[in-house]
Homo-oligomer: A and B are copies of this chain.
Amino acid sequence: MVDCYQLLAANKIVSFQVPLGDENHVVTGLTPHYLEPMARSIPQSVTLGLVQMGCTPDPAENLQKAVAGVRDAAGRGAQIICLQELFRSQYFCQTEDHGNFALAEPIPGPSTEVLGPLAAELGVVIVASLFEKRAEGLYHNTAAVIDADGRYLGKYRKMHIPDDPQYYEKFYFTPGDLGFRSWDTRYGRIGVLVCWDQWYPEAARLTAMSGAQILFYPTAIGWLPAEKQEHGAQQQSAWETIQRSHSIANGVYVCAVNRVGHEGDPAGGIEFWGDSFVSDPGGRILVKAGAGEEVLVATCDLSKVNASRTHWPFLRDRRIDAYQDLTKRYLD
């Protein structure tokens, strides 16, 4: 949120910004009739699209479905569209199978070669989570960011890699080495984190500190059917809560996109819970999907990032002189 004045001088509109709350700002040397106060808060509206889908064993089919989802979202006004984690395949990490490395691709590569032109055609930003083959025997869980002109902006490599029953990601993915990043896109500055990252306030903080107004979390999370009865509600609530907390702590929008459907062993496997959502900088849920395939859109007012951060000024008061031990494993 900025206070703006426009100056009509020498036949040119010159605009500049002064900090919010500086009610008595005086521009020396300008007579009052040159000053046209604009609205105090400039809404910077951006519409997000979330493509929540089920996947088949056929990567081509999944890509087709993702493209259809992007078109659907764009048709409903979405400007930044996020696909779920590893949308080109089923969630293969349920087993440790060397054959699954064949699913990987370079980035940029085949998927971005389809999504880039699509982004340009529709004028939308696309966040695409892909299985990256970086070199022989070196693979990452990576998200590509494509700007609305189709240009590949860069990638984020998942930094926190889980390894739990049926989520054997440490077998497949080398932990990311690009750090926490954000990018200026046509519609706003965005950061991308992937699934397990969502449990780490450090990741959200660092991405927000790099300027992101929206944090995207492509995700593949679900219930192990044997646990669902006892722990399912708590797990899902914790997942939503921790991500809403990133909105709150950092004054940013969070956009989480999860897959749906049952995959794997029919007697076990994983039941992906969907529930994709967008939360605003106050932690309010703006839109939320159910457990089925769904394309969501949500309009976000990016001026709320500054409004939230000035009203609840958490960034102002961080005790950066006392945080050095965050780089330790434990304080024992």
Q: Which chain A residues have a beta carbon within 8 Å of chain B's beta carbons?
A: 159-162, 164, 175, 179-180, 196, 199-203, 205-206, 209-211, 231, 234-235, 237-238, 241-242, 244-245, 248-249, 282-284, 311-315, 317-332
Contacts and interface: CB of A to CB of B under 8 A. Distances in A.
A313 B244 CA distance: 20
B211 A317 contact: no
A314 B200 contact: yes
Contacts of A325: 206, 209
B323 A326 contact: yes
A319 B284 CA distance: 29
B205 A201 contact: yes
Contacts of A332: 211
5 nearest A-B residue pairs (beta carbon): A201-B201, A245-B245, A210-B331, A238-B283, A209-B331
Contact of A312 (B199, B210, B324, B327): B199
Given A234-B284, A282-B238, A160 B319 contact: yes
A267 B323 CA distance: 41
Given A205-B201, A249-B242, A313-B164, A237 B322 contact: no
A316 B103 CA distance: 28
A202 B318 contact: yes
A230 to B, nearest CB: 11
Q: Which of A284, A311, A317 has the most CB of B within 10 A?
A: A317
Contact of A249 (B200, B237, B329): B200
Contact of A241 (B234, B283, B326): B283
Residue among A201, A235, A329 having the largest count of chain B Cβ atoms under 10 Å: A201
A315 to B, nearest CB: 7
14 contacts: A164-B311, A175-B319, A200-B314, A200-B317, A206-B326, A206-B331, A209-B330, A211-B332, A231-B282, A234-B284, A235-B282, A238-B282, A242-B245, A245-B249
Contacts of A210: 331
Contact of A238 (B248, B322, B329): B248
A201 B209 CA distance: 14
A327 B317 contact: no
Contacts of A241: 241, 244-245, 248, 283
B234 A326 contact: no
B159 A322 contact: yes
A113 to B, nearest CB: 30
Contact of A200 (B159, B244, B318): B318
Contacts of A311: 164
A126 B64 CA distance: 61
Nearest to A231: B282
A317 B162 contact: yes
Contacts of A322: 159, 179-180, 206
